[in-house]
Structure 1
Amino acid sequence: MAGDKDTLLAMGFDSARVEWALKATGNRGLQPAMDHILENESKSVPSVESTSESSAPAPSGDMDIDEDAEDVEALRSLGGVAANEVEAKSIKCSECGKIFKNTALANFHAEKSGHDQFEESTEEVKPLTEEEKKERLAELRAKMAEKRSRKAVEEAAEHKANELLRRKAGKDLHKVKEELQAKEAIKEAQQKKRDKIEEAKARAAVKAQIEADKKARAEKSAREKALREGRPIEDAGASTLPSAAAGSGPSTSGVAGKDFKDTRLQIRMSTGGQPYTISLPSDTPLSAVAEFLASQTLTVSVDVVTFAQHFPRKTFSQSDFTKSLRELGLTPSAVLIATP
C-alpha cells in the first residue's frame, strides 16, 4: 500500500527492501512489513537488486576513476552537466533543513509539513543504526497509539452527543404528550360544563312542570269540590275581575293578562352580554327563573341574585322567589334585569 510504503521510506529504510517486505508480506500492513525488514536486514534483496544490477551497464575493465573524472570535467566544460547535479546525494528542505534520500520521501514530507522549498544537497543520508530504528519504531507505535486514543475520545464524544440528542427527543415527545393531555383535560372540562348546563335546564323544566301539575291538580280538586257542594265554579282570576271591571280599559287589559297559562321572559344581565329567553307556566315561582339563569351562566348564585323590572319599575328580592310569575304581575311577558 502506498501509505505503508511512504511511512517506511520516511523512517529511513531502503526503497528496495521496502518493496521486498511489502511483496513478501502480501501488503498486510505496516507492522508485518517492518518486522520483515528487521528480520532480513542482513540478507540481500533477491529481486530488486538483481534487476538493478541487470539494468546497469557492465563495467569496463579499461575505464578507471581518472577516466570518469576526465569525462565529468569534459561535460562541465561543454556546459552539459552542472556541478551540483553530479555531486547531489540528497534533497534538502530549505525551510526546516531536513535532508531526504529520494524525491518520494521529500514529497511525503511536503504533504505532511506543507513545506514547498527544496534543493539538492551534497549531504549523504546515512542509514539508520539499530538504536535509531528502534527509536523510530517506538515513535511510530506511540503515534499509532495516540491516534487510536484520539479516535476513542472522538467516538466517546460522538456517542455523548448522540445520547444528548436522544434524550432531547425523548423530552420533546414527553412535552407533546403533556400538551395533548392538557388539551384533552380542557375538552373534558368543557364537556362537563355543557352537561351541567343541560342538567340544570332539565331540572328547571321538571321543577316548573311539577309546579304546574300541582297547580292544575289543586284547581281540579277545587272545581270537583264546588260541584259536590253545589257552589258555582270560580276561575283562578275571578276574584280580581270585579275590581278590574270598575277600572278603565287599559287596566282591564292588564288584569286580564293574569289569566295567561304561560309566561315568556327575557332576562338581561346588569353586567351586559347576551340576553336569555325562556317560556314557563305562569304558576312557576321566581326561584325557577333564578335556577335557569344560574345553569346558563355558571357565575350566578341562586342565593344572591336579584331581579328588577324597568316598566313598571320594580325590584324583586329573595323574599319574592317563592311567589309565582302570575302573582308578581309578570304575565304574559316581561323583561327582567338580573344582578348577580
Structure 2
Amino acid sequence: MSLAEQLVEMGFHQNQIDSAIKTGKSANLEQAIDWITTHENEIAAGTASGSEPVLNLSSSSNTTTATTTEAQSEVNSLKCDECGKLLKDADTATAHALRTNHSSFSECTEAIKPLTAEEKEEMKKKLQERIVARRKEQQIADEKNAIEMEKKRISDAKSLLEIKQKREEDEMKKIAEANRREKLETQLAKQRAIEQIEADKRARRERAAAEKSGGIVEDVPAPKPQHVATPQPTRQYDECNLQVRLPDGSTVRQIFKAADRFEKVMEWVREKQQSRPFILVQNYPKKDFGENDNHKSLTELGLVPSGSLMVKELAHFQT
C-alpha cells in the first residue's frame, strides 16, 4: 500500500496528503503525519481561497445576504451539528462526513486551536497503533493463507505419489503376468512335444511286435499328431528399461543394454543412493540379487525387456 493510500485510509484529506508528499517531501508515514500536524494552518489557508461549499449548512447561517456576507468574514471553522466536532474547513468536514455519515454542519466563529506537542505525539501514537494493528491482521491473514497453501501442496503431492505408485505397481503386475504367460505356453508346448514322441514310440513297438509274431502287418497310420500350438518366436531385445525405487519413495529410470552385467546397474544405483550398503530386490517374482548375480547379464537375470527393482538398505553391514 502506497503512502498516499495509507493516509487516505486514516482519514486525511487529499490537500493534506498532497502537501505532505509534494511540499513536505515526506518519505514515510511518520514524516507525513508530522508535516500535516505541524503545517495544518498553512494547508488550511492555502485551500480556503476559492473553495466552494460542498456540504449542507444549517439554516442558522443563512439569514439575509447582508448578514451572511458579514458573518463569512468571521467564520473560522465548521461545526458538526450531530457530534459537535469543530472542523477547520469544508474539505475536512467532507472527510469527517465520509467517516461518520454525518451530514449536518454549521459555520462557526470559534477558531480551532493548533495541536500542542503533547496532542501531536498522542495523535502519532494512536495512528501508529492503528498501523501496527492493521499490519498484525494482515500478517495473520497471510500466515493463514500460507498454511492453507501448504496443506494443499502436501495433499496434491500425496495424491501424485499415490497415483505414481499405483501406476508402477500395475506395470510390475503386467510384466509379471506376461512372463508367467510366456513360461506357461513354453511348458505346454514342451509337454505336447513329449506326448507326441511317446505316441510315436508306442506305434513303433506295436509294429515290431506284430512283425515278430508273423502276423500280417498292416500299415498302421501314424498317430495323427495333436495340434501343437507353435509358440511365437521369442523376440530378441537389445535394451533393458529398468526402474528402481529408492528408500525415500522416489523412482529412477535408466535404459541399459541387454548384455550389460548386473554390476553396472549396481554402480548406477550406488550413485543415486549414496548411503549405507544395500541390495536390489524384485517384488514379483520375489528375488534378492546378491554378489553372485553381478557378473550375469540382464538377459540372464530376466530383466529384459523391462524390470522393476527396489533398493533394500542393509541395517547391519560388516566390512
Alignment of 1:67-106 (within 5 A): 81=68, 88-106=75-93
Q: What is the Cα-based RMSD across aligned positions, in Å?
A: 4.5
Task: Deviation per CA, 1:211-235: give whole Å up to 9, x if none.
Answer: 12321342454367x2xx8x34545
Residue number in structure 2 paired with 1:144: 131
Residue number in structure 2 paired with 1:31: 30
Alignment of 1:273-292 (within 5 A): 279=227
How big is the shift at 1:78? 5.4
**Residue 202 to residue 29, structure 1, CA distance change in 2 (3 Å):** same
CA contact (8 A) 1:6 1:108 kept: no
CA contact (8 A) 2:78 2:107 kept: yes
**Residue 232 to residue 96, structure 1, CA distance change in 2 (3 Å):** same
Q: Which residue type is aligned with residue 168 of structure 1?
A: S
Distance 2:9 2:206 in 1: 120
**Residue 201 to residue 29, structure 1, CA distance change in 2 (3 Å):** same
Distance 1:48 1:102 in 2: 7
Structure 2 unaligned regions, length at least 5: 51-61, 229-319
Alignment of 1:42-53 (within 5 A): none
Distance 2:10 2:181 in 1: 86
Residue number in structure 2 paired with 1:261: 223
Residue number in structure 2 paired with 1:179: 166
**Residue 23 to residue 78, structure 1, CA distance change in 2 (3 Å):** closer
CA contact (8 A) 2:96 2:102 kept: no
1:119 aligns with 2:105: yes
Distance 1:77 1:279 in 2: 126
Alignment of 1:135-284 (within 5 A): 135-219=122-206, 221-222=208-209, 226=212, 231-235=214-218, 261-262=223-224, 279=227
Residue number in structure 2 paired with 1:274: none
Larger radius of gyration: 1
TM superposition score normalised by structure 2: 0.50
Q: Which moved more, 1:159-168 or 1:182-191?
A: 182-191
Task: Deviation per CA, 1:169-192: give whole Å up to 9, x if none.
Answer: 101211221331243244235424
Task: Deviation per CA, 1:269-321: give whole Å up to 9, x if none.
Answer: xxxxxxxxx658xxxxxxxxxxxxxxxxxxxxxxxxxxxxxxxxxxxxxxxxx
Residue number in structure 1 paired with 2:253: none
Q: Which residue type is aligned with residue 103 of structure 2?
A: Q
Distance 2:169 2:183 in 1: 21
How big is the shift at 1:140? 1.0
Aligned residues: 212
TM superposition score normalised by structure 1: 0.48
Q: Which residue type is aligned with residue 191 of structure 1?
A: A
Aligned-pair identity in percent equals 26
